[in-house]
Every structure is written in structure tokens, then in C-alpha cells.
Amino acid sequence: PKLEAIVHFAALKAVGESVEIPLDYYYNNLVSSINLLRAMIDYNIPNMVFSSSATVYGLPDKLPVTEDSPTKKANSPYGNTKQIIEEIIFDTINVNSNFKAISLRYFNPIGAHKTALIGELPQGVPLNLVPYVTQTAIGIRDHLRIFGNDYNTPDGTGVRDYINVVDLSRAHVDAIKRLLDNKSKSNYEIFNLGTGKGLSVMEIVKSFEKATGQKIKYKIYPRRPGDIDIVYADTSYSNRELGWKSEIPLEETLLSAWNWEKNIRKKS
Ligand code: UDP
């Protein structure tokens, strides 16, 4: 059977790490995307769904960010790779009239499948917040390091838009259908995937404690290079055009992350 669409997920994905090892990020994320696009042209696979990121908005002037918000200078090499790949896809589509793509700009995907059978298992020390929280709760980490409490946010800790990963994955099905059913309004489209609500690191810790009954020990650390103070999505365009909406409540999402952590640490 002919391949009709590719979902391009593969990439290195940690903001802070990308500041430390920029060449690994540029090489891995850019070269793989170029190779994949070349293969799609060679084999005439006309549709792509690309995992983009809220980091393409840089330091936003206005909140929430809409898909029309300017992509300002990215705050990290990671964000820059996502900006550049979006441009590479756009330029490639421009000269291949039968090609279409949708970039899904992820905000902060968290949580696991409710069966606790599918989830994320970071190698080594987790770089993202929620896996660090669950590993702290289970005792693998001594305490959560909160990177900065002097941001320009209500409680001083960084604010992000945390989206359930199962909700996020549903949007990919919607995007593929849109491409295959020829519903796209242009050959290159962009959708924000978030909840529309900004939450601070401190609020995530408190919600996790409430959802799971686990107490999280934390200490305040300096800001992490590459981080910005606040970003959250305007999701009205995705809701309207893609027919997609975040559904799973935060506490259920955090509980799913905790159940997953417990399940993978169970002695067999
Ligand atoms: N964060 C933190 N401690 C950690 C990991 C993350 O305080 O161990 C903060 C980080 O500074 C940011 C938020 O949590 O404000 C989300 O970070 P994450 O790395 O999960 O996602 P990002 O927004 O960087 O893609």
C-alpha cells in the first residue's frame, strides 16, 4: 500500500539541554528533517504532520499566543531548530505543489495513557518538569529543583500551558484526516496544541500533591538558561478549524503520570 502521510515526531526536545549542546540539536533535528523531506519527495508521499513547538514564538509580546503571533527570535537552539524546520517545510511545499503539511505547535505535553501502559521514560535525569516530579515522588530524586522564583509571573515561577499527551495525540489523527480529506485551507497550516490556560511550576506541584496525595519536596534553584517566564496558547483556531479541544482535566493528567511512574517501577 502507498504511504499517504508521515507524522514527523523524531527530534531532541529539551530547551535547557539544547543550550548546553547546540550542535547536537542543530545536527540531529535539522539533518533528519531534511533527509525525511527528501525521502518524501523521492517516494512521492504528499502529506506531513510536523511536531513543532510553542518555543517558535520566542518571548511573546502578547498572551495568549495565536498562530498569527510573530515567531520572534527563539530563546534556545531547540526553539530555533523548530523555527528553521517549519521554514524548510514551507519552502519545500512551495516548490512541490502536490505536497501539504500541518505544523502542530505543542505547548507542554504531560501525563500518560490512563491504563498506565504507555508513558514517557526519560533516560537519566529527567529534563522536563512532570517526570522530575513523579521521580521525586517515588524517591528516585531527593527533591524537585524549581528553576527560578523571580520570574514576572504571579508566584515568580515559570508559567506554561500543560496539555495532556493523549489529548495531544488525538490532534494528530485530526490533522492526518484533514490532509487526506483535502480540508486544508492552504498547503501549509499551523495549529496551536494547548489548553489555553497558563500554570506555574508551583501550581503544578500543588495540583500533583492534591491529585495523588504525595508530598513533593522542592528547593529553589537559579533560572535555567533558555527558559522564558510565561507562555500559553490561544486555542480558538484549533478548536474551530481542526475541531480539536483539550478535554482531560489537569488533576487526572497528573494522576496518570503518577500511575505510570508507579507501574514502571513495580518489581517484576
Ligand atoms: N522546570 C523546573 N524544574 C525542572 C524542570 C522544569 O522548575 O526540573 C520548570 C522550567 O523552568 C519551566 C517549566 O518547569 O518553567 C517547564 O519546563 P519543561 O522543561 O518541562 O518544559 P519547557 O517549557 O522547557 O519545554
Q: Please report, in tens digits, the pLDDT of each residue of the chain (268 residues total).
A: 789 999 999 999 999 999 999 999 999 999 999 999 999 999 999 999 999 999 999 999 999 999 999 999 999 999 999 999 999 999 999 999 999 999 999 999 999 999 999 999 999 999 999 999 999 999 999 999 999 999 999 999 999 999 999 999 999 999 999 999 999 999 999 999 999 999 999 999 999 999 999 999 999 999 999 999 999 999 999 999 999 999 999 999 999 999 999 999 996 5
Residues 179, 191: contact at Cβ < 8 Å?
no
Classified as helix, coil or strand, 259 is helix
At residue 49, the pLDDT reads: 98
Structural element, H or E, at residue 191 = strand 188-193
78 given a catalytic annotation: yes
Residues 154, 99: contact at Cβ < 8 Å?
no
At residue 139, the pLDDT reads: 97
How remote is the CA of residue 171 from the centroid of ligand 1, in Å? Answer: 23
Residues 14, 128: contact at Cβ < 8 Å?
yes
At residue 1, the pLDDT reads: 74
At residue 81, the pLDDT reads: 98
> If you ran DSSP here, which 8-state letter would residue 72 be given?
P
The atom of ligand 1 lying closest to the CA of 226 is 24
**Residues in CB range of 263: below 8 A, 6 or more apart:** 116, 117, 119
According to DSSP, the β-strands at 100-106 and 108-110 are unpaired
**Residues in CB range of 112: below 8 A, 6 or more apart:** 118, 119, 120, 165, 256, 257, 259, 260
CA gap 253, 114 in Å, rounded: 8
Task: Tell me the CA distances in angstroms from 120 to 157, 207, 255, one per residue in order.
Answer: 24, 20, 14
The atom of ligand 1 lying closest to the CA of 110 is 20
The atom of ligand 1 lying closest to the CA of 15 is 24
Nearest to 146 by CA among 76, 216, 202: 202
At residue 268, the pLDDT reads: 58
Burial of residue 217 (number of CB atoms within 10 Å: 0-12, 13-18, 19+)? exposed
How remote is the CA of residue 220 from the centroid of ligand 1, in Å? Answer: 13
- Helices (H), ranges, 139-164: none
Q: Between the CA atoms of 106, 236, 91 and 183, what dihedral angle is there, to the nearest 10 degrees?
A: 110
- Answer whether 146 contacts ligand 1 (Cβ < 6 A): yes
CA gap 17, 240 in Å, rounded: 35
What predicted TM-score, i.e. pTM, was given to this entire model?
Answer: 0.96
Tell the residue nearest (CA) to atom 16 of ligand 1.
Answer: 129
Structural element, H or E, at residue 150 = none
Q: Which of 78, 106, 132, 162 is catalytic?
A: 78
At residue 28, what is the residue type?
N
